Amino acid sequence: MTDLMSHLKSHGQEHLLTGWDGLSPEERESFTAQLRAIDFTKIAELFAKKDEPGASLPPRDRIAPLPVEQPAAAAVEIGEGALRRGEVAVLVVAGGQGSRLGFEQPKGMFPVGPVSGATLFRIHAEKVLALTRRYGKPVPLLVMTSPATHSETVADFEQERNFGLPSGQVHFFQQGTMPAVELATGKLLLEKPGQLALSPNGHGGTLTALADSGLLARLKSAGIKHVFYFQVDNPLVNVCDPAFVGRHIQADAEVSSKVVFKERPEEKVGVLATVDGRCAIIEYSDMPKAMTEERAADGTLAFRAGNPAIHLFSVPFLERVTSGHQRLAFHLARKKVLHWDPASGQTVNPDEPNALKFELFVFDALPMAERWLAVQAKREDEFAPLKNADGPDSLETCQALMVGQARRWLTAAGATVAGDAAVEISPLFALDAAAVKMKVKPGTVVSGTTYFSET
């Protein structure tokens, strides 16, 4: 305790031990471990940067639109070969707190299926199972959680028996956390006596956690060469799309990204571009209005390569960006953080941002790639984000996109779907339009709400 006190004092953080006397021996032990794991020097360095202007955009002449390829049917065989050899793993990031949706449980447990009520986790896991069956090799499913979502996520997979996947095929790993510090003073905030206010370290924490957990090394020795990355809140994601995997391999890319074209300048989506000749993502909040409105010769938006956060990383690239000097750097965000105030002994729920949080962004890895590739995806086929309780990117828009895709696949197979029928296709029934064609006879009439399930 005296050791700990002097350690904290030397960093101006002795307030953290307020309330120590009221802690049980176990609480003291775990709090001590929590404090010992904190790199106070690093936190102080980050705090010192709080008034520096954010990484502002370089001048316009250093930025150029990124060439975007069309999906290449010719590459399908190459991608399928990699899947048959078991070289591709699937990584879903599910550590976020989903605050905008306002759902109490991890977002992956949200019942998004428009007919079945299947959860996001079920839909993703069924896609992985369907891929495993199709290509005859287990596709590892890596689920990244955070302390905010871990135990409920693991319990859900357990209760649902991994949605049919053998347990050895599902791997959970937790992203790191970072303490929040008081904006005015740099002092670490407490959630309660004996407990720091911690939050997930951003989706960029995925890459470091994948390496730090030892999972990356295990995947590599199991022969995995590529990791397909996506966010838990997109039920339309075309997991391990063989044409995409194939082009990535053909081009020997270190990172390949799917791109969804922006149609309107004001759409709030990050955009892939090149900065100083390297692939980068420009956040919508950083892009000047004039740039969002620029047009190419054919009249389309010049910077239209919207980022749906679907990437394929090569394993050597992941090793490189998670080791040594190339590690990602933290972004600073001013946030409201509920905390316990040692001075008053009260819990404080601030109205204004009172804290700094530190986050890593996955797309900061892109400029580190020597070779990259961007491939167009159609929004209606591959991107239905579930972010908000209502309005854009809400359950309503997400389910409408899911139903729209199912209707298109059925119609392409020659079925007739009644105008108002909600339809949904389980990935175990069919993974894509071609698979629907093999199972649904032309002339089939779908007259009402229908869930096409495995059986």
- By C-beta, is 92 or 259 nearer to ligand UTP? 92
Contact 8, 36 (CB under 8 A): no
Of 13, 119, 132, 146, which one interacts with ligand UTP (CB under 6 A)?
A: 146
- From the CB of 112, what's the least distance to ligand UTP, in Å? 13
Q: Which of residues 201-230 bind ligand UTP (CB under 6 A)?
A: 202-203
- By C-beta, is 121 or 372 nearer to ligand UTP? 121
Instruction: Dihedral sign for Cα 335, 340, 345, 346, please.
Output: positive
Distance CA 206, CA 77 (A): 30
Distance CA 223, CA 305 (A): 32
> Residue 98 interacts with ligand UTP (CB under 6 A)?
yes
> Residue 423 interacts with ligand UTP (CB under 6 A)?
no
Side chain identity at residue 395, one-letter code: L
Q: Write the DSSP string, 128-180.
A: HHHHHHHHSS---EEEEE-TTTHHHHHHHHHHTGGGG--GGGEEEEEPPEEE-
Map tokens 């990355």 to a residue: 229
- From the CB of 52, what's the least distance to ligand UTP, in Å? 23
- By C-beta, is 122 or 387 nearer to ligand UTP? 387
Map tokens 């069309």 to a residue: 70
> Residue 95 interacts with ligand UTP (CB under 6 A)?
yes
Of the candidates 355, 323, 301, 63, the one whose C-alpha atom is nearest the C-alpha of residue 190 is 355
- By C-beta, is 11 or 331 nearer to ligand UTP? 331
- By C-beta, is 291 or 310 nearer to ligand UTP? 310
- By C-beta, is 393 or 424 nearer to ligand UTP? 393
> Residue 174 interacts with ligand UTP (CB under 6 A)?
no
Stretch that binds ligand UTP, among 98-106, 210-218, 391-399, 415-423 (CB under 6 A): 98-106
- From the CB of 387, what's the least distance to ligand UTP, in Å? 6
- Count CB-CB contacts under 10 A for residue 206: 29
- Please report, for residues 182, 330, 333, 335, 344, the alpha-carbon distance to residue 354 in angstroms, rounded to integers and kept in the order given: 6, 19, 11, 6, 16
**Element spanning 291, H or E:** helix 289-293
- Please report, for residues 158, 162, 165, the alpha-carbon distance to residue 122 in angstroms, rounded to integers and kept in the order given: 12, 8, 10
- From the CB of 318, what's the least distance to ligand UTP, in Å? 16
> Residue 94 interacts with ligand UTP (CB under 6 A)?
yes
SS3 36: helix
From residue 382 to residue 401, the character string flagging contacts with ligand UTP as x (rule: CB under 6 A) and all else as - is -----x--------------
> Residue 99 interacts with ligand UTP (CB under 6 A)?
yes
Of the candidates 419, 204, 415, 454, the one whose C-alpha atom is nearest the C-alpha of residue 318 is 204
- By C-beta, is 113 or 194 nearer to ligand UTP? 113
Q: What strands lie across the sheet with 331-335, from one edge to the other? A: 181-182, 355-359, 331-335
* CB environment 119-147: b (16+ within 10 A), e (fewer): bbbbbbbbbbbbbbebbeebbbbbbbbbe
Which residue's CB comes closest to ligand UTP? 96
- By C-beta, is 260 or 446 nearer to ligand UTP? 260
- From the CB of 100, what's the least distance to ligand UTP, in Å? 3
> Residue 100 interacts with ligand UTP (CB under 6 A)?
yes
Distance CA 188, CA 190 (A): 7
Of 132, 162, 174, 175, which one interacts with ligand UTP (CB under 6 A)?
A: 175
- Tokens representing 136 are 């005859």
Distance CA 239, CA 130 (A): 10
Q: Which of residues 290-329 bind ligand UTP (CB under 6 A)?
A: none
- By C-beta, is 232 or 356 nearer to ligand UTP? 232
- By C-beta, is 140 or 194 nearer to ligand UTP? 140
- From the CB of 23, what's the least distance to ligand UTP, in Å? 28
Of 38, 43, 88, 93, which one interacts with ligand UTP (CB under 6 A)?
A: 93
Binding site for ligand UTP (CB under 6 A): 93-101, 107, 144, 146, 175, 200, 202-203, 231-233, 387
